[in-house]
Chains A and B, each alone.
Chain A
Amino acid sequence: MKVKKILASILCASLAVTILAGCSNKKETTDTSKNESNTGNKATEAPVGESTTGYTGEPAEIHYAYWQDSLGTYLEECKAKFEEQNPNITIVLEPTTWTEYWTKLETAATGGSVADVFQMNGPNINKYADAGIILSMDDYIKASGLDMSKYPEAMNSLYNVEGSQYGVPIDYDTIGLWYNKELFDKAQVEYPTDSWTWEDLKAAAEKLTDKDNGVYGISAGYADQGGFYNTVFAAGGYILNDDKTKSGFDQDATKQGIQCWIDLMEAGYSPSQASLSENADYIQFMSGKVAMVYAGDWFASIFADPAADFADKCDVALLPTINGNRASVIHGKANCISAGTKNADAAWAWVNYLAGAEANELLGKSGAAIPAHADYSNLFFEQYPQYNMSIFAKEAQECAYEYPTSKGFTEWADVVWNELVPAYSLEVSVDEACDNIAKQMNDILAAQ
């Protein structure tokens, strides 16, 4: 009977394991600050001007969470310079991979142990501002005299929730048409030009597709910012209406902006949706399986990486026009301060430093992203003389559309993905998918 007893106790333990699944792993023990007392939110000690960030408060440790790998070197440099200027503050960098970043950040925010300063993006800003997870920076911006007009208007407004500024832009990005010159040469197709229309793109994709050798003209898989958002705007449609109360997916122009991708899929000019969801478009592009890809400026650092041996094989052009219109979605990251930080003044000193001239210069020279500060944007482009980088700035000035976001974004973005992937997989029609999206999205928006 001893065996039976042992078995019974093992069973009890294993049943308990079931429950473990229900136990959220909330407590990420991070010692946010060594400082206990200084919780004053007043910006009295905040410095004036951009170049000085002299912080005179108590010693503090500021944790900074971010996701983009390629920002690592730039942030290390910033940390070193900042700590030199502010001996009382220690910066702790906390990188997380993109796929885990938002889950981890939300869990940490729920448990009250989120980093003092963290990177934010357009899809999530409303959620964090609404829940009071991040601080309004209005007072700090005013007291420090930070000149917000130096940043793109679309970026400032993206991080402005109901009249309050919750984030200071770090960078901005637009989308370009990257192409593999080698494959173009091989198929004897002219490189894309500024006057390309969607029809030109389609014709080129047809000529470039060489199924016997596993080469496709273009990657036409599901992508929002790097895909149908651009074509929907170019076709004259919209994702959200201006006051963010109604979905635009039931509009004919919106459907047309999505249909144009499905046409490429149907014609067989693109790897299948299944293939693209396993091996990302840029990976297939770099391995010479795909000749054209819609991709953001930040891919320049990936394509130009000497280890990839791809740098000289590609270039970038303006996005093609649809019905005579060109559109590129503009988006960018921002720095936010946690409402739970023990030392908001020190956190602001770091944000203010990253917003300033020195940090923007370092960012531009690192070649990781386009600095949001207008005076330094060009530094990024100069890092890639081999590519036609000026198109990204041109798009930002001439045909940039603000990234569509609203309250309830995560919910409706999920609906969009759920309904559209079958369309990209050629299982349902765009019409049907879009009507389904519009219906569900309107309900979600109405509930906000």
Chain B
Amino acid sequence: MRINRKKRNEYLWGYAMIAPVTLGLIAFYFYPFFQVIFDSFYKIGSFDRRLGFVGIDNYTKMLADKEMWQTLMNTFQYVIIIVPLTVVFSMLIAVLLNKKVKGLSIFRVIYFLPAITMAAAISMVWRWIFNGDYGILNGLIGTFGLDPVQWLNSKQTALFCICCVAIWSNTGYYMIILLAGIQGISRGYYEAAEIDGATGFQKFKKITLPLLSPTLFYVVIMIIISTFQTFDGIYLMISTKSNAIKHTQSVVMYFYRTAFEHSNKGYASAIAVMLFLIIMGITIFQMKMQKKWVNYE
């Protein structure tokens, strides 16, 4: 097939337009992705010195690594706690903020604020709230005569504190996405239902939920992925010298410590690959399952 000059010119422009993003993706996503897989078969020491090919040693080491298993457990705990609660809360708030109430914009701003606040700033404030000796939470429960709790430094409570902060700071963001979805639903459905005498809950169940399901699906997938990758809240709130670090660190946190604090990039790469496989597996499963509940108009 001959391509005339005009057409070729058009193609060239097309490629020129997508070049920045494509090059960015290759440099910052695809190249590191394959590099990580490659590195996971090597022993790598400080300053990235390659100390030899070790085959699947890094992976077999992972199976025997107790800290790795504990870390996986923590991560699944985060997912099990954070995902449903965030979905429920953001859904609830989105539905409530869709109603005509006084000061609607103010409420929307309040709920959205945590999403646009720096994670570092949020963590600083919560660290002070949870502080075992000087924190406001212990001060509060102290007035009821309860003993102070080392919230962020005991194995029993630290993980839940991280969950609370994660739910609190994520809810607003997903609330906005759901709210946009709800407002995309035609008023006509509700009016027809009202004429038929449907109650508020019936309207929610039969109209809002099914028509919102594509948005909800997107939200659920995003929360699951971001929760599997949770890092900053833990990094900023739990010191690596804390007693609770092993019972709170996520896979990404463990990856970071292994790669940058213990200078063991080979093993860290294997951890990253494993996390990638887990998230990919779960996402594929969800894509397959969506037929059962997601309703595309």
The chain A residues found within 8 Å of chain B, CB to CB, are 1, 3-4, 7, 10-11, 14-24, 103, 106-107, 109-110, 127, 131, 133, 271-275, 277-279, 284, 287, 289, 410-411, 414, 417, 421, 425
Contacts and interface: CB of A to CB of B under 8 A. Distances in A.
B47 A103 contact: no
Contacts of B275: 18, 21
Nearest to B228: A18
Interface of B: 25, 28-29, 32-33, 35-36, 46-49, 131-134, 150, 152-154, 214, 217-218, 221-222, 225-226, 228-229, 231, 239, 241-244, 252, 255, 259-263, 265, 269, 272-273, 275-276, 279-280, 283, 287, 296
Contacts of B225: 14-15, 17-18
Given A4-B296, A19-B36, A414-B262, A277 B47 contact: no
A385 B183 CA distance: 71
A7 B263 contact: no
A425 B280 contact: no
B86 to A, nearest CB: 16
Contacts of B46: 106, 127, 131
Closest 5 CB pairs of A and B: A23-B32, A22-B272, A22-B36, A274-B153, A274-B150
Nearest to A16: B29
A439 B28 CA distance: 42
A425 B48 CA distance: 36
Given A4-B296, A22-B269, A277 B243 contact: yes
Contacts of B260: 24, 103, 106-107
A262 to B, nearest CB: 15
Contacts of B241: 277, 417
B242 A278 contact: yes
B128 to A, nearest CB: 11
A425 B287 CA distance: 46
A359 B287 CA distance: 66
B49 A11 contact: no
Contacts of B32: 19-20, 22-24
A226 B231 CA distance: 31
Contact of A110 (B48, B228, B283): B48
Query: Which of A103, A133, A278, A411 has the most CB atoms of chain B within a 10 A radius of its CB?
Result: A278
Nearest to B222: A14
A19 B33 contact: yes
Contact of B296 (A1, A18, A106, A274): A1
A14 B36 CA distance: 17
Contact of B272 (A16, A21, A110, A272): A21
Contacts of A106: 46-47, 260, 263
Contacts of B276: 15, 18-19, 22
Given A18-B275, A19-B36, A21-B252, A109 B47 contact: yes
